[in-house]
Structure 1
Amino acid sequence: MLAAAAAVLLFAAAVLIGRHIEDTDGTLFVGWPPLLAWWGPHWGPGTPAAVLVAVAVVAYAPTLAARLPWRALLATAWATALAWTWSLALVDGWHRGVARRLTTRYEYLQVIDRFHDIPAALATFTDHILIQAPATDHWPAHIAGHPPAATVTFVLLDRIGLRGGGWAGVWCITVGTTAVLAVLVAVRALAGESPARRAAPFLVLVPGAVWMGTSADAYFAAVAAWSVALLALAVTARTPGRARAALFGSGLLFGLTCYLSYGLTLVAVILAGVLLIARDRVRGLLPGVPYALAGLVVVPLVFTLYGFDYWEAYHLLVERYNQGAGGTRPYGYWVWANLACTVLVVGLATVAGLRRTGATLLRRRRDLLTDPSVPEVRLSLLVCAALLALLVADLSGMSKAETERIWLPFALWLLPACAFLPRPRAWLPAQAVVALLVNHLLRTGW
């Protein structure tokens, strides 16, 4: 309770201090600090469904998570995560909550027509990152701020007939919610089935679903999560063939992750955490390293052959970032206010779980070296790896504001900390209340 209370105070301080900064010098560039949102109490067609899903999860999820067969649990978790995310998105209605999200002037669908020749667009992609010359028709913010795999995804959806913001929203929500399954699969592989079952209701009812529907970052989070999950399956595989296949898939998805968002190279920290957890089996994976590397180079090789220079683009992005709001937003505020945003993404239950995670590591610190197979230690290390990745992103200064959606790929891996909570049904309502309040009192945007 003390950790949760401290988190509430942190968020309250971020709101009050942020409001003062924005009112006095206007350097935060957000409507309702620390969130990129605007005050606007409202309700919509998704409201009854969201309340119903929340009540059902609180009432039945802990029991079902404990009793359902594993595969049935995964199917139920995904279906419930879909229902939760869709209902929250539809609180704003179909047009504003889903179809319009990815069509605004900052978003990917704005440039679909400029990718009619994909190889040519990739070859000249870096020419359009900066706001000024050599090209005057610079990319909108989200296109310039990401490697082109993000944009190419939506171009390809358009090419196969899934055109417009509605289909793009369906893609992001459908793919994005599979991240819940990836986290469950990884936790089960690394720390056992019991912690995964205890964490399942919290992953399903994650408050971050407010920003997963509809945001491309939900799609990014799923790709990154499956990269980690496949590595977890590789290090625990019973046969060399399965290990090699999982390593190839993990490398392939991590390569794609890096070409969806520059900042998600930090997923490597979580991957390293997986290897640390299963260090007693890493030597057995050495014959599979070529398969991991073969998967890893696929996406970078394709984009490089088409003329996209990743490192040049990244350095230009840093310059573009400083040309816009990122260069004005005060680091001294956002370096801690970003963490306040994360409280809303993961919920108070996760904050309490993180406190217990730290206590577990202190209590079992001798097992870190002597017995790496202890499930509690393994789960704690996985959560701490995600927390470390998030903190590095925070300290980098390239994540000032909008982290409620940008950090989804890291934040989802903090939710397994809820497995340490002794009374899950007592904490689940807090998760639901956070999401419902944010979605009904604020109008989020990006």
Structure 2
Amino acid sequence: MTSETIQAHFVATRERAARVGLCVAILLVVAAMAVPAVTGWDVRAGAFPPLHSIWVPRVGPGTPLAVLLGVLACVWAERAARWSWPQLLGAVYLFGVLWMLALATVDGIQGIGGILDAKTEYLQTARSVTDVGALLRGYIDRIPLDSTGHWPVHIAGHPPAALLFFTGLVRIGLGSALAAGMVVTFVAASTTVATLLVARRLGGETPARAAAPFLAVGPAAIWMCVSADAMFAAVAAWATLLLACAATSRRNWVTMTAGLGAGVLYGMCLMLSYGLPILGILAVIVLALARAWRPLPWVAAGVIIVVAGFAMLGFAWWEALPVLRNRYWAGIAQHRPGLYWTWADLAAVTVSAGPWVGAGIAVAIVDVRRSTADEADTGRRVVAWLAIAGALMCAAAAASQMSRAEVERIWLPFVPWMLLATGLLPPPWRRVGLIVQVAFAIVVQTLLYTRW
């Protein structure tokens, strides 16, 4: 076969894979919505599973801005992909902030961080913290549901760094729901920047440029603006960028400092969420793509510094995890059927990422199987593996049975990596796909009140 014939074969294979992946994504979401509705099965997730949501059609002050931004994104996407790298990253960040705020304010100004003031969330408790040392020493004792003064749901369900983040905001005068929501939004928008930089650092700049609009706008922004998990996603993305820098640098001091920095941030991820050890999948794939394992000792040292530091202050992660597991199964999780949520969680994260993620992941699977010396194909394989890492992390989280429902929020740290796969799609697919993603986000936010 000639090279032209082989190339044509792969183009056709990618087209078929994209169609199959899109169909699977749509069918998965439809099935997850239809099964409880048709059977009357109470899966304990509000009125519109697989999302933790209720049906509340509405428009608000943010609706016109969301529509305008969506149109601009679709019109300027291809042109923006040719901008200089700093211009592209700046535009992606600013556009991402505006997109998140526009979707949030469909519910008015209270849509920006209002949920953070709920009794199940962080701010009310953060305002009452007066002694951080005592907080850490007594943290585990207050996780069980039957303990005296037990923690609210979100605080009990996370290690203390999440609460300490909001405690810090309170102490510097940013403890209102609006102020905290704005901080989370500005931090969350940097996730896209770090994700794109990782792809570029590993040699996948061209498909990363093509994927940039999908990371800047899309349904995930509905939850990014109002959820602490969006802040977790940013910490994870910047940790991975430092790891990529450590793995690709030829300077020993860069490998050491960047590797140690990556370890510290990954360690902070462990102190933010019990589910984020799954980031190890992404870290291993980054090191494998860079073909460099030298940073590992420095990364491990950074993680140990953070975990041991918290332990010396009174919070031992390994002691807290089994206590949290008992609290988790003592709550609503025991009533959420695993027979449904093991696969419906994947439908929920498909809604969060948008249906075009299915097409992208399918093409990524095709691309990782292709082995050539062509530079363009190497870049595609890099992005394909990063996207597959995102999908594998979701699969591992689902298999753990510790994420029954609410994963449209909980799995935000995994979503941007999967969305990188949209940069592997053929140009016509990307043009149509961006329109679908934008419209899908606006429709979801307009029709459903998602509670996060």
Within 5 A, what are the aligned runs for 1:94-109? Answer: 94-95=109-110, 97-109=111-123
1:355 is displaced (CA, Å) by: 1.0
Specify the alignment match of 1:127 in structure 2: 141
1:245 is displaced (CA, Å) by: 2.3
User: Would the aligned equivalents of 1:129 and 1:138 in 2 still touch at CA under 8 Å?
Assistant: yes
User: Would the aligned equivalents of 2:57 and 2:448 in 1 still touch at CA under 8 Å?
Assistant: yes
Q: Structure 1: which 4+ aligned runs deviate by more than 4 Å?
A: 370-373
Report the Cα distance in structure 2 between the residues aligned to 1:106 and 1:20, rounded to whole angstroms: 31
**Which residue, out of 316, 324, 334, partners 1:327?**
334
Report the Cα distance in structure 1 between the residues aligned to 2:218 and 2:239, rounded to whole angstroms: 20
Within 5 A, what are the aligned runs for 1:138-217? Answer: 138-217=150-229
Report the Cα distance in structure 1 between the residues aligned to 2:389 and 2:173, rounded to whole angstroms: 40
1:394 aligns with 2:394: no
Cα root mean square deviation, aligned:
1.9
1:373 is displaced (CA, Å) by: 8.8
Specify the alignment match of 2:25 in structure 1: 7
User: Would the aligned equivalents of 1:191 and 1:378 in 2 still touch at CA under 8 Å?
Assistant: yes
Query: SS where residue 177 of structure 1 aligns?
Result: helix
Report the Cα distance in structure 1 between the residues aligned to 2:404 and 2:38, rounded to whole angstroms: 17
Within 5 A, what are the aligned runs for 1:3-152? Answer: 3-20=21-38, 23-24=40-41, 26-66=42-82, 68-95=83-110, 97-132=111-146, 135-152=147-164
Report the Cα distance in structure 1 between the residues aligned to 2:113 and 2:394, rounded to whole angstroms: 30
1:72 is displaced (CA, Å) by: 1.4
CA deviations 1:287-339 (Å, max 9, x no partner) are x5553334223322331121112122111111111111111100010011111
Query: SS where residue 354 of structure 2 aligns?
Result: helix
Report the Cα distance in structure 2 between the residues aligned to 1:272 and 1:6, rounded to whole angstroms: 28
User: Would the aligned equivalents of 1:29 and 1:325 in 2 still touch at CA under 8 Å?
Assistant: no
Report the Cα distance in structure 2 between the residues aligned to 1:265 and 1:392, rounded to whole angstroms: 10
| Matched AA of 2:73 | V
Within 5 A, what are the aligned runs for 1:275-314? Answer: 275-279=287-291, 281-282=292-293, 285=294, 288-314=295-321
Specify the alignment match of 1:356 in structure 2: 363
Report the Cα distance in structure 2 between the residues aligned to 1:91 and 1:8, rounded to whole angstroms: 25
User: Would the aligned equivalents of 1:277 and 1:382 in 2 still touch at CA under 8 Å?
Assistant: no
Specify the alignment match of 1:249 in structure 2: 261
Report the Cα distance in structure 2 between the residues aligned to 1:371 and 1:178, rounded to whole angstroms: 28
User: Would the aligned equivalents of 1:278 and 1:372 in 2 still touch at CA under 8 Å?
Assistant: no
Query: SS where residue 345 of structure 2 aligns?
Result: helix
Structure 1's unaligned 5+ residue stretches are none
Cα distance change on mapping 1:371 and 1:203 into 2, 3 Å = closer
User: Would the aligned equivalents of 1:253 and 1:296 in 2 still touch at CA under 8 Å?
Assistant: yes
1:87 is displaced (CA, Å) by: 0.6
CA deviations 1:86-138 (Å, max 9, x no partner) are 1111111111x124210112101121244211100110011111111xx3211
User: Would the aligned equivalents of 1:172 and 1:213 in 2 still touch at CA under 8 Å?
Assistant: yes
**TM-score, length-normalised on structure 1?**
0.93
Query: SS where residue 41 of structure 1 aligns?
Result: coil
Structure 2's unaligned 5+ residue stretches are 1-18
Report the Cα distance in structure 2 between the residues aligned to 1:271 and 1:290, rounded to whole angstroms: 13
Specify the alignment match of 1:442 in structure 2: 448
**Which residue, out of 393, 398, 419, partners 1:415?**
419
User: Would the aligned equivalents of 2:204 and 2:378 in 1 still touch at CA under 8 Å?
Assistant: no
Report the Cα distance in structure 1 between the residues aligned to 2:398 and 2:96, rounded to whole angstroms: 27
Specify the alignment match of 2:5 in structure 1: none
| Matched AA of 2:379 | P
CA deviations 1:369-423 (Å, max 9, x no partner) are x999922222222221221111010011001000001001011110110111112
Specify the alignment match of 2:439 in structure 1: 433
1:442 is displaced (CA, Å) by: 0.4
Report percent identity of matched pairs.
39
User: Would the aligned equivalents of 2:24 and 2:358 in 1 still touch at CA under 8 Å?
Assistant: no
Length, aligned pairs only: 432
